[in-house]
Amino acid sequence: MTRSVKMLCVLGAGIALFVVLSLCLQVPVFENYYLCLGYAVMLVYCYSLGPWPGVLVGALGVVLYCLLTSGLRGMPGWSLGNVVIGLGLGFGLQPIRKIENRALKAGAAVVLIIVVTAAGILGVKSLTEHILYAQPFMVRAAKNFTAFVADAVMLAVSIPIAELLDKRVRKLVE
């Protein structure tokens, strides 16, 4: 099998896993929001395979999840936010994964996660919803704050999973 066919299969599996984890394992954290376990898959792809596989898993995973659960409601902002998160994590985690000091590595990864998740959810998702739904930007950002916190936490606790699976995921596409 060629490398591109392997990558396509691995991407398809990642998108499907994002959707399944998002649908089947809903852990409530706030009034109407839950930990999206699909973000663990996105982080693994960003960590091991880089920005574009992470973007495809996160953005297309959200598109399929939304189509299965609520139609187009919420999908444009969430998927565009995941593009920003995937790019930021995919590019940012590559140098971080080379850090030898575990505490410094974890701290750098958490700071990166907070910054890119804020940009993706509080920034891009809120701006997209502001434009689409004609609501004030600050109202949208306030409503998206719980999503930002839950998504950043989910991504941060997924770091050890990404480290554990790194070699196996990379081997899948060799």
**Sign of the CA dihedral running 47, 40, 45, 76:** negative
Domain 3-172 has CATH 1.10.4030.10: no
Q: Looking at residue 1, what is its pLDDT?
A: 73
- Separation of alpha carbons 172 and 13, rounded Å: 11
Each residue's pLDDT tens digit, 27-37: 777 666 777 89
CA distances from 93 to 30, 64, 151, 159 (A): 28, 26, 17, 10
Region of 49 (left: φ > 0; alpha: ψ -120 to 50; beta: rest) is: alpha
Each residue's pLDDT tens digit, 57-110: 999 999 999 888 877 777 889 999 999 999 999 999 999 999 999 999 999 999
Tokens encoding 36: 């999206």
Each residue's pLDDT tens digit, 145-154: 988 999 999 9
Q: Are 165 and 17 in contact (CB under 8 A)?
A: no
Q: What end-to-end distance do the CA atoms of the chain give, in Å?
A: 10
Each residue's pLDDT tens digit, 7-48: 999 999 999 999 999 888 777 776 667 778 999 999 999 999
**Residue 30, Cα to own-chain centre: how many angstroms?**
19
- Separation of alpha carbons 61 and 45, rounded Å: 12
Q: Are 46 and 70 in contact (CB under 8 A)?
A: no
Tokens encoding 99: 């850090």
